[in-house]
Amino acid sequence: MPSIRDVARIAGVSISTVSRVVSGSANVEAGTRARVVEAINTTGYRPNLNARSLRSRSGQLVGLALPKIVHDTFATIIHYAEIEANKMGYGLIIGNTRDDPDREREFIQDLLARHVDAIIFSRVSDASHLPDRIQERGLPIVVIDRGIEHETIPSIETDNAGAGSLVARMFIKGGHRVIATVTGPQNVKLVRERDRGFRSTLEEAGIEIPDTHHIESDFEYDGGVAAGRRLLDVKPRPTAIWSQSDMMAVGIIKVFLEAGVRVPEDVSVVGMDNVPTARMITPMLTTVDQCFEEFCRRAFTIIHAQLENPDYKPPETLVQIPASIVIRESYRNLS
């Protein structure tokens, strides 16, 4: 099925110019309008009337597909994505893929049926091949957070290995030697990269994490509670724990405090994401800041450039944004 992108390429104009011709706008030079009409006739492109009515109010229409919109991490991404979309006059369709590959495929198909102009996408897992299918349809796409190494599809993610190394170095410098970690699902690349950076940095300092102190979970609060209960029983008990999400860290802290284990006096807990909840709990959570605002700013900058120029290629396809640590009350040095 021909897309608006195909028409723009053949006519040698931007996608927004094609949209203005389709909507009947008078603000298009006659020669340009003729080229666009000829390209429409050549390709057989047929605009979707429902999508066109949305564009008439909001400009271009961007789909945003996220694994779990009720999770604080993705709710934060939605917050900044809406800000960037509003700045550029874009409409935004937000979809919850529920960490379910089938739901992910259905939502992407729905976005394509709505004739969206571009898609920003965070994958359910590494097994997702939908970014390739989206690109095959001629749509601009940016993968965020759960990035993908691809020759032509741009991704924006945290330097996850660097984030893991950053936390490990803080633990080492702080005198911690009995250390535990609670990861997200290992079928997600960023989880493995965080784990690799964390463990390799500790190993270089002669510190190994036993299997009993390395727990795979799901990024969720309840997963943190379950992991915390397991860590209460391990010997020796860790003096520092790194959780790969703030919500799991909150669950871990709850379990330890209810068992009479003080945080951070008896055990330090560090999260990742720097979501608003991290400042709301007691003790306030020390965490890794991923800078989701920068994710969204860069994603919409790329989308905008591709919509204005169908031949635009970003200078790099994998952008890794450095992380930083926000020190609050849940961490203390032993040395």
Q: What is the pLDDT of residue 128?
A: 77
Beta strands of the chain (E only): which ranges? 61-66, 91-96, 118-121, 141-144, 155-158, 179-183, 214-216, 240-243, 268-273, 286-289, 318-321, 324-326
> How many whole angstroms separate alpha carbon 288 and alpha carbon 278?
10
Pair of tokens at residue 256: 């330890």
pLDDT of res. 25: 59
The pLDDT value recorded for residue 144 is 94
pTM of the model: 0.81
pLDDT of residue 139: 87
Half-sphere exposure of 180 (CA within 13 A, CB side): 27
Q: What structural domains and CATH numbers belong to the chain?
A: 1-47 (1.10.260.40), 160-290 (3.40.50.2300)
Residue 267 has a pLDDT of 98
At residue 58, the pLDDT reads 43
Tell the burial category of 233 from Cβ atoms under 10 Å away from its Cβ (0-12, 13-18, 19+).
exposed
110: Cα separation from own chain's centroid:
21
What pLDDT score does 57 carry?
41
How high is the mean pLDDT in each 10-residue block of the chain (335 residues)?
Answer: 82 84 69 82 69 51 91 91 91 90 90 88 82 82 88 92 98 98 95 98 98 97 98 96 98 98 98 95 97 94 90 90 97 96
- Let me know: does 273 contact 72? Beta carbons within 8 Å: yes
78, 119, 270, 273 from 267: Cα distances, Å: 33, 42, 10, 20
Q: Return left, alpha or beta for 297; rule: phi > 0 is left, psi -120 to 50 is alpha, else beta.
A: alpha
205 token code pair: 């300092």
**Per-residue model confidence (pLDDT) at position 48:** 60
d(CA 273, CA 289): 5
What is the pLDDT at residue 138? 81
Cα separation, 176 vs 198, whole angstroms: 14
